[in-house]
Amino acid sequence: MDLTNSTAIVTGGASGIGAGCARALAARGATVIIADLQADKGEALAEEIKGVFAQVDVTNTEQITAAVEQAASIAPLKACVNSAGIGSAIRTIGRDGQIDSAFPIESFKKVVEINLIGTFDVVRQAATVMSRHEPDANGQRGAIVNLASVAAFDGQIGQAAYSASKGGIVGLTLPLARDLAAVGIRVNTVAPGLIDTPIYEFVPNPAEFKENLGRNVLFPKRLGSPDELASMVLELITNDYMNGETIRVDGGIRMPPK
C-alpha cells in the first residue's frame, strides 16, 4: 500500500515504539498524526517529521474522534498504529491472606481500559474514517497495526492485568481482519519483546538493568530497538498480503515466570 499523500495516526506516538513508527510512516510519505498525552514530546516530534500533534487520551472517545477526523481533513487516512498503553506488575493476592491486599480491581480495570478498550475504540473510529475514501487499485482503503506484547503468551508473575489486556489485542486480530475485509482494510498485530524505550528509565542504573535483561534474549542478546519494531509495523502496513496475523518481534525470547 502506497502511503504517499495520505495520513496515518499513531497512538502513543510521542516516544518509544510509537515514535519509531511515526518516523517510519513519515519517511514513506504519510502525514502522521501523533496522538499522545505528552504534549512536549509530541509537538517536538511533529515538528521533526512535519506531522501533527493531537492530545489524545485513548480512554476519551471524543478526543479519539477529533484526532481521526483531523487526519481525514488533511488527506485520506490509510494507516493506524495503536501503540498507547501502560504496564502493570501486581500479584493476584497479598501475603497476609486479606482480601484488601489482593490485586486492586480498579487497577485491573484501568489497564484493560487503556490497553484493550482504548485500542478497540481507536480501531473502530479510524476504520470508519478509512471506509469513506475511495479504495486503491488493489481495493484497499487502509491498514491497521495494533501493538500487543509477548506477555500475551508468556505472561510473568504479576502481569495478570497486562497479559489479559495484550492477549485481548491478539484475540481481536482475526475477527477485526475478517470484519473489515468487507471495506478493504487489513488488520495485523505486532507482539514486541524487550524493547529499549524510556520505560526502563525509572531504575537507578538503566544501562546495567537493560544489559541484564538482554541476557535472556535468545539472539541477539540485547534489547530490541524502536526502529526494529517500526520496520515490522511498516511491513505489515505496506505489504498488501499481510492480514489477520500476530507477529512476535522478540529475538526469540520466551519469558520466564519472573
DSSP designation for 116: I
C-alpha 45/C-alpha 34 separation (Å) is 8
CB 174 within 8 A of CB 244: yes
Looking up cell 502496513 gives 237
Task: Give me the catalytic one of 33, 162, 176, 184.
Answer: 162
Q: How many residues does the chain have?
A: 258
Long-range own/partner contacts, residues 93-99 (CB < 8 A, 24 or more apart): none
Q: Answer yes or no: are the C-beta atoms of 79 and 25 closer than 8 Å.
A: yes
For residue 12, what is its C-alpha cell? 502513543
CA dist 237 → 48, 197, 199 (Å):
22, 22, 26
- Distance CA(243)–CA(173), nearest Å, equals 9
- The yes-or-no answer on residue 162 being catalytic is yes
Contact status, residue 39 vs residue 63, Cβ threshold 8 Å:
no
Q: Is-contact 9 30, C-beta < 8 A?
A: no
Instruction: Supply the residues annotated as catalytic.
Output: 162
